[in-house]
Amino acid sequence: MSDYLSGSLRRLRPYTPGEQPQDRTYIKLNTNESPYPPSPGVLDALNRQEAADLRLYSDPEAGELKAALAARYGVGLENVFVSNGSDEALNFAFLAYATDGRGVAFADITYGFYPVFAGLYDIPVHTVPLREDFRLAVEDYLGLHQTVVIANPNAPTGLALTRAEVEQVVQGNPDAVVVIDEAYVDFGGESAVELTGRYPNLLVVQTFSKSRSLAGARLGYAIGPAELIADLERIKYATNPYNVNRLTLRAGTQALADRAYFEENCRQIMQTRAYTARRLEELGFSCTDSRANFLFARHPHLSGQAVYQGLKERGVLVRHFDGARIVDYNRITVGTRDQMEILLQRLEELL
C-alpha cells in the first residue's frame, strides 16, 4: 500500500483549521469571522430562483463578480482572479510563482497556511524573523531572491506595514514576485491594490470572509498585473474551472454592491476593538496595535492555555498561541460589543 503513496506527501503537516464546534453554541471569537450577518441584500439575493439554478454549472469566468471588482478598483478584467476563499488564490500563487526552485520567503510568525503550501509543493522556505514586539521591518525584505509573501496586516499579531513600506518591498525585489495577503486590510490597514498597476511583480490577495461576512461561502480574489493573473487562471483551468459556486458568486457580487453596510460593519468592529483593547489593558493584558478584526493579547500572570481553557469552560472560544517566540498569547476575534462585555466579565472571573 505504502508504495502507492508519495513519501513527501506523507511527511506533509497539513493546516489545522481553528475549532469549529458543531455540538454547542459558544461566543465564537476564535477564527476571525464577522459577528454580523451578510448584508440584507445578500440574504435577498440568495432566493429560490438562485437555488433552482444550482442545476447549472457556475460561470467559470466569474464574469459578473470580476466586472464588479474591476470597476471597484479601476482595473481591467485581466487584472482580477476570483477564488474559492483567499486560501485558494494563495495556494495557486505558491504553485505559480515559487515552484521553479527559487523558494519562498515569509515571516517566522505569520499565517499558518504558508508553510503548508510550501510543504505541499516542496518549496524551500526562507523565514524572516519578526523584530522585537513582532514588528515586520521593511529592511528585512529587500534584495531577497525568493518569492515574498507578506500578510498585511500580519496574523496573528495584527501589526501592519504602511502602503509606502509595501511599495519599498516591491521596489526592493524587482526580480521576485511579492504577494501581499490583505485578508484583514479593511479594519484600518492600507491596501496595496492601487500599486498593482505600476509594478509587474505585485499581487494583492483579499477575501470576502472577514469584512463582508462570507467566511462560509468561501470567496476570495487577487488583483495584479495581467501576466501574474494569467498564471493563476491557468492553474484554475487545470484543476477546477468551476472553482466558485453559483450561490457564492451571487452573494459576493451583492456584498460588494452593499458598500454602506460593509463600511458600517468595519467601523463598528474598529470601534469595538479599541474599546476592548482598553478594557483588556485595565485588566493587566498587553495588546499589540492590531489593525485587524482581532486582538493579540497576553497577561503577565495567566498562561495563554489557562485563558483559553477558562474561557472555553465559560462558553467563550478564543485561540491560544504558544511557540518558540510567541509565549502565552491569545488571539481574540472582535465580536459585537455585547459579546465583548461577556468576554471581559469571564476574564474578570478568571483573574
Kindly list the residues in this chain that would bind ligand PMP in the complex (CB under 6 A). 85-87, 111, 151, 155, 181, 183, 207, 209, 215, 220
| Residue 87 or 231 with smaller CB distance to ligand PMP | 87
| Residue 102 or 319 with smaller CB distance to ligand PMP | 319
CB of 91 to ligand PMP, least distance (A): 9
Residue with cell 499581487: 203
| Residue 251 or 347 with smaller CB distance to ligand PMP | 251
CB of 125 to ligand PMP, least distance (A): 17
Q: Nearest-CB residue to ligand PMP?
A: 85
Q: The C-alpha cell of 59 is what? A: 460561470
CB of 243 to ligand PMP, least distance (A): 12
Backbone angles phi, psi at 106, to 5 degrees: -150, 170
Question: What is the rounded end-to-end Cα distance, in angstroms, of the chain?
Answer: 53
| Residue 239 or 345 with smaller CB distance to ligand PMP | 239
CB of 263 to ligand PMP, least distance (A): 20
| Residue 58 or 209 with smaller CB distance to ligand PMP | 209
Q: Beta strand pairing status for 316-317 and 294-298?
A: unpaired
CB of 129 to ligand PMP, least distance (A): 18
Q: Which of 230, 330, 220, 338 is nearest to 285 (CA)?
A: 330
Q: Helix, strand, or coil here: 16?
A: coil
CB of 163 to ligand PMP, least distance (A): 18
| Residue 86 or 146 with smaller CB distance to ligand PMP | 86
Residues 158, 166, 14, CA angle at the centre, nearest 5°?
55
Q: Please say whether the beta carbons of 8 and 122 come within 8 A.
A: yes
| Residue 151 or 317 with smaller CB distance to ligand PMP | 151
CA distance linking residue 66 with residue 76, whole number of Å: 9
CA distance linking residue 304 with residue 297, whole number of Å: 9
CB of 197 to ligand PMP, least distance (A): 23
Q: Beta strand pairing status for 147-151 and 178-181?
A: parallel
CB atoms within 10 A of CB 126: 14
| Residue 86 or 147 with smaller CB distance to ligand PMP | 86
Q: The C-alpha cell of 80 is what? A: 482580477
CB of 351 to ligand PMP, least distance (A): 29
What b-and-e string marks burial along 15-48, b requiring 16 or more CB atoms within 10 Å of the CB?
Answer: eeeeeeeeeeebbbbbbbbbbbebbeebeebbee
